[in-house]
Structures are given as C-alpha cells and as structure tokens.
Amino acid sequence: MGKVRDALGVARGDVISLLKDDDEFLPEKLERVYAVFRDGVDYYHNGRVVNEAGKVLRREGFSMSVKGDEEKARYALQMIMHSSHFNSSSISVRKHILEKIDLKKCELTIDVFVFTAALLSANVMIDDTSLLTLFRVHSQHVAVDLRSFEVNQAKMLKSYSRQFSDVAYLASLSRGTPYERAIKFVFLNQKLACLALPERPQLDDLGLNTLGAGDLIGWLSFLPYLRHNLRYFAIRLLIPALPKAAKRVVAKFLFDLNARSALG
C-alpha cells in the first residue's frame, strides 16, 4: 500500500481512480468518472468485466446511490453485501476523503479502507452497473491461487493476518458511528474466514484467535441479510468449529469449487 500513499503525496487532482497492476480501465472509464464527479459524487464504484486469458467469464455490477448520513447508514450494509467496497480497480474517490484516514494502517485491503473512509466522510456514494474495469483472473489471483491447493493455502495463511489487521482497525475506527454494524460484518466475516484455515495465523491479540459467544451472536444477527445465501452463511459459521483434519478437507473442496468458478 506504500505506492498508494506515495501517489497521494504527488497527486494534484481532486479525484483518485485506483488501478491494480493486473487490471485494466476500459476506454470510457475516465470520461465516466469525470462526469459523475462533476455532478457532485464523492465515491464511485463501477461494474467490471471478469476476464481470463482473453475470455470474458462474467459481467458484474450493482446499482445504488446514497446521499447524506441517513441514507449511508441505512444502506451501508446492503452496499457491502453487493460488493460495493470490492475491487480497488473499480473505485474512484475524492482525494480529501483518503487524506482523512491513516493509510499507514492499511496492509492489504485498500478497497475496504477507501469504502470505509467514504462512509465516514463522503456525502454522495454511487455504485454503478457501467462496465468500466477489466478484472483479470490468473494463476496468482488474490481470491484463489490457481497453481495448487498447497500454494493457495500458504498464500492465504500469509495474507489473512494482514487482512484481519486491516479490518480490525476499521472496526475500531467505525465504533460509535452509524456505520459500525456494516463494518462489523466485514470484521466478523474476515475473522471467521481466518479461523476456518487448517493452519491459521497466530495474532498478537488472543481474542482474535478464538471464536467467542459474542462473535456467534453477531454473525447470527446477519442471517436476515444472508438469507438468500444460506450456504455461505453456514460455511462461515460452522467450519471454524471443525477439527483441523476436517477443516483441511473442506478447504480442499472450497479451493476446487472457487477455482472452477474463477475459470468460468
């Protein structure tokens, strides 16, 4: 994330559009960004074309517009459920919003950092179905390393502690705000994913290494929002309670499933 911080230090424009080195802006991207920010938008998330080796796998996008603290609080969780915070290459934001949050705390999840910063400071947030970003799937894609199960597990073990550090900071940052519940969902989701690993990172805070009653109650409270994806809800809740050998079997099954999904 150091490159993002360095870029902010030299950027002179009012709007920042993020781009990962393995993605691509489609030709009309910046023209569209210019138009929406000219109309007073503070945070903009566009749709994406998921591509692998030149083949279009799928098109993803969601439509929502919120304005003001009341609407942001009401719809923040819905935006998260629809991945309005996901994929930094789909995000554009006012520079001053990024300058209000400590990016030095960001290890890996720049997209969640920017979305949270926008919740805390933006006035108008838009998620748009316009397909403006080419999202490339490849053998070392962040969601699943397609080279092998063992390579993927090693990569996940290394990255999860960094991701969890990020969302734990954001959860503390949002505490007491109207957006606390939305960011708590991100935090619990990441914690459960971390605890589901057969080999999981040992974090400095012992409370983050165990699943407490409060975590269970918190996750259960999100059931109404995940009622259309009960398999995901159950997987997140139940796998952390399994013995290590069973976790490994499940992890292998999920790896194969995610690999097939990533490759269409």
pLDDT tens-digit series, residues 201-215: 665 554 566 778 888
- Considering only residues 103 and 115, tell me which one the structure prediction assigns the higher pLDDT: 115
162 part of a folded domain:
yes
Q: Read off the CATH number of the domain in which 25 is found.
A: 3.90.550.10
Q: What percent of the chain has pLDDT over 70?
A: 90
* Residue 144 lies inside a defined structural domain of this protein: no
Main-chain dihedrals φ then ψ at residue 105, nearest 5 degrees: -80, -10
Query: What whole-number distance in Å separates Cα of residue 86 and Cα of residue 45?
Result: 9
Regarding whether 161 and 109 lie in a shared domain, the answer is: no
pLDDT of residue 206: 47
Provide the mean pLDDT of the chain: 84
* Final residue of a structural domain among 109, 136, 163: 136
pLDDT in tens, 21-64: 888 999 999 999 999 999 999 999 999 988 776 777 788 889 99
Among candidate residues 136, 158, 185, the one where a domain is terminated:
136
User: How far apart, in whole angstroms, are the C-alpha atoms of residue 194 and residue 200?
Assistant: 6
CB 125 within 8 A of CB 79: yes
- Amino acid letter for position 87: N
Regarding whether 168 and 54 lie in a shared domain, the answer is: no
Chosen domain end from 108, 136, 164 = 136
> Is residue 143 assigned to a domain?
no
Type of residue found at 94:
R
Do 168 and 65 fall within a single domain?
no
- Residue 224 belongs to some domain of the structure: yes
Clarify whether residues 120 and 159 are in a common domain.
no
Residues 37 and 109 in one domain: yes
Asked if residue 189 and residue 75 are part of one domain, the reply reads: no
DSSP 3-state of 196: coil
Full residue range of the structural domain in which residue 193 is found: 149-262
Question: Do residue 12 and residue 120 come from a single domain?
Answer: yes
For residues 26 and 126, membership in a common domain is answered with: yes
Question: Measured between alpha carbons, how far is 134 from 136 in angstroms, rounded to an integer?
Answer: 6
Q: In the chain, what is the straight-line distance between the N-terminal and C-terminal CA atoms, in Å?
A: 30
Q: Quote the pLDDT of residue 71.
A: 95
Q: Indicate if the pLDDT at residue 247 is higher than 70.
A: yes
* CA dist 38 → 41, 43, 162, 247 (Å): 7, 12, 36, 50
Four-residue CA torsion sign, 172, 178, 182, 188: positive
Q: Could you tell me if 22 and 118 lie in one domain?
A: yes
| Number of domains the chain is built from | 2
Residue 8 placed within a domain: yes
Nearest to 84 by CA among 193, 229, 182, 226: 182
For residues 118 and 216, state if they share a domain.
no
Q: In this structure, are 99 and 216 located in the same domain?
A: no
**Residue 21 shares a structural domain with residue 127:** yes
Three-state DSSP at 83 gives: coil
pLDDT average, residue stretch 106-125? 89
